[in-house]
Amino acid sequence: MRTFLVACTAALTILGCGQSVAYDEASVGAMADASANPSSETVAAASTAAIESDTPSLEMPRDSAGRTLPSAAVDTAIFAGGCFWCMEPPYDKLDGVLSTTSGYTSGSTVSPTYEQVSAGRTGHTEAIQVVFDPARVSYDRLLFVFWRNVDPLTANQQFCDRGSQYRSGIYPRTPTQKAAAEASLRAIAARFTQPIVTEIVTATPFYVAEEYHQDYYTKNPVRYNFYRSRCGRDSRLKDVWGAEAGK
């Protein structure tokens, strides 16, 4: 029992989306399994996974085909809201959104890896690229969803994930998107007494993240939900946005 409590405490205090907090998605899954079935064997396996998974496998290819080159009939938006696993679901459920892709943007290194970005060495932030049909969903609607799924009051951190690689941001690709983003920021700023620290920076290259990050919430729902809960994302969103909080 003591070993199990120690393992749970580690999961609660160190758990995070990126390597900056020591555990990656494989160890998150092991901890989730351990909390659901606290046998000595499961706890031992969780501890082993937490150690062995400190560096995620990069064996799976980075698949950018069909993700970064939308047709002329659709548009693209780029947002950052902390762990990219958690930013895909709010957009995937919107009618008119054709795809969401996790990746890295607004940094200096060409083709950065997850290891580099999560360590805070490249200047990038974890982001998502949203391909959408403007005839069915507007960019303004995407902005509305973005704000309700981030904490715009905390710099260089989103929930339990800390570091500039988890800063929140909007990365407009056109003057029209930039004007809309800035207007939305002014409207949001009027709601709070604290300053809004979310950055608005003209889009730079977006690099697709490793394939195992794509659609993580559908591939690994138990692990994803465990991470999201322990990270305090939903509770903080409710504190900031009340009934408007995203999910």
Q: Which residues are catalytic?
A: 83
Going by the DSSP 8-state scheme, the letter that residue 154 receives in this structure is S
3-state secondary structure of 125: strand
CA separation for the pair 82, 168 (Å, rounded):
6
**Structure-token pair, residue 147:** 């704000």
Closest listed residue to residue 79, CA positions, set 240, 164, 184, 206: 206
φ/ψ (deg, to 5) at 95:
-65, 130
Residue 12 Cα to chain centre, angstroms: 18
CA separation for the pair 151, 157 (Å, rounded):
9
CA separation for the pair 105, 62 (Å, rounded):
15
Closest listed residue to residue 16, CA positions, set 230, 187, 244: 230
3-state secondary structure of 208: strand
φ/ψ (deg, to 5) at 236:
-70, -40
User: How crowded is residue 215: how many other Cβ atoms within 10 Å of its Cβ?
Assistant: 18
CA separation for the pair 141, 153 (Å, rounded):
21
